[in-house]
Amino acid sequence: MSNPSAAMLVIGDEILSGRTRDSNMHHLACELAKRGIDLREVRMIADEPEAIQSAVKALAAAYDHVFTSGGIGPTHDDITADNVAAAFGTTAPQRADALALLAAHYARQGMEFTEARKRMARVPEGATLIENPVSIAPGFTYKNVHVLAGVPTVFQAMVASVLADVAEGAPLLSQSLRVMRGEGDIADPLADLAAAHPELSIGSYPFQQGGVFGSNIVIRGSDGAAVDGAMRELAALFPEACE
C-alpha cells in the first residue's frame, strides 16, 4: 500500500516578490515526512482569484491532501477562503460557529469586532474548522483541502491540529554518508547501487568545503532493514568516508 500523497499551495504576493522568505514549506515538509505522508508538489502563487482556483482544482484532484498557507486574514487582499470555495463551486459565507469563536475572543480582549474581523469567519458550509490557539481565527478543512494561516506560528499550530486527525503512512527513514569525493567520482558505483535497490531512493548532494569537493549520499525508504542493508553496501564502496 502506498503512502498518502500531499501537495502544498503557498498563497501570497509577498513571497513571489522576495519581500518575505517562506518558511512554512520546510516546516510542512518535515512534519509530513515524519508521518509517512509524501509531499509530492509545492506551488507558490499570487493573491489572485484565478491563480488560486486553478491551482486548488489541479492539486485537489491529483493528491490525497492539499495544504494551503496564507490569505485568511481580515484585509482586502485576504481572498483564499472565497477562492478555495469557488474552486469547488461553492461560497464561503461568514459562518455562525466561526463568528461565535471570534466574537467571544474580541469580547475577552475588549476589542471591537469590526466588519473586517468578521471576514475571518468566512468558511464554506460543510467544512470543518481548524483550531488556532495563537490568534483564534480558525482555518478549515473542506473536502481534501486544509486552509491554514500564513503567519508561521499559526501555520505550525494548525498543521499539528490537522495532522493529529489524518491517516499516516510508513514514515520515510533516511541515512546519509558523507564522502570527500566529487560526484563525478562516485556516480558510477552509486548508479549501480540505486539500480540494485529499486525500492529505495538514493540521492547524492554535492558540496564544496575548503576547496575540496564532497558529496552527501542519502538513502531513503520505508523499510528500515532495506535502508540499513544498502547503507552497509554503500559504506563498503567508500571505506574512507567520514561519519
**Counting contacts by CB under 8 A, is residue 240 touching its own copies?**
no
The distance of closest approach from Cβ of residue 149 to its own copies in the complex, given in angstroms and rounded to an integer, is: 9
The terminus-to-terminus CA distance of the chain in angstroms comes to 34
The distance of closest approach from Cβ of residue 103 to its own copies in the complex, given in angstroms and rounded to an integer, is: 12
Torsional sign, CA 37, 42, 48, 49: negative
**9: closest CA among 144, 170, 160?**
144
Question: Do 145 and 160 touch, CB atoms closer than 8 A?
Answer: no
Cβ closer to its own copies: 93 or 171? 171
**What does the alpha-carbon distance between residue 242 and residue 207 come to, in Å, rounded to a whole number?**
14
The distance of closest approach from Cβ of residue 216 to its own copies in the complex, given in angstroms and rounded to an integer, is: 9
**Counting contacts by CB under 8 A, is residue 82 touching its own copies?**
no
**What does the alpha-carbon distance between residue 238 and residue 180 come to, in Å, rounded to a whole number?**
9
**Counting contacts by CB under 8 A, is residue 114 touching its own copies?**
yes
The distance of closest approach from Cβ of residue 192 to its own copies in the complex, given in angstroms and rounded to an integer, is: 9
Exactly one of 4, 74, 93, 171 binds its own copies (CB under 8 A); that residue is 74
Name which of residues 167 to 206 contact its own copies (CB under 8 A).
172, 174, 182-188, 190-191, 194-195, 201-206
**181: closest CA among 218, 209, 219?**
209
Number of chain positions touching its own copies (CB under 8 A)? 68
**Counting contacts by CB under 8 A, is residue 160 touching its own copies?**
no
Place of cell 471570534: 102
**Counting contacts by CB under 8 A, is residue 119 touching its own copies?**
yes
